[in-house]
Amino acid sequence: QIVTSKMSRIACFIFLAAVFGKFVLAKQIDDPKCRDDGENTCEYPLRCVCPEPQNDGYHREEVAYFDHNTQSCSTKIGNRDSCNSFNSLDDCAEKCSGFTRK
């Protein structure tokens, strides 16, 4: 029974960590400064910190973006509703050149 109790606590902790992480990520994505919706002006290189394009929603295509893990521009299939999505790798490199996320 002690093992079951510890496993329940661990499972509860993992669940809470996942839920908390989802809210933190959602907060970043919903940051008005990171939305490329026509009303917002994306300012670079500051907007290179915005979340990577998500692969959800109806409209998806190949987009260039600043990859926070590699600290360089890359491509993936995603949507263009983030300030961290570009038409080409060259466009990304031009706007995020020298940018690093700590």
Which domains does the chain possess? 31-96 (4.10.410.10)
- pTM beyond 0.75: no
pLDDT tens figures, 20-57: 444 444 444 456 678 776 666 788 888 888 888 888 76
Higher pLDDT, 14 or 63: 63
CA 65 – CA 75 distance, rounded (Å): 6
Report which of residues 78 and 30 the model is more confident about: 78
User: Side chain identity at 82, as an amino acid letter?
Assistant: S
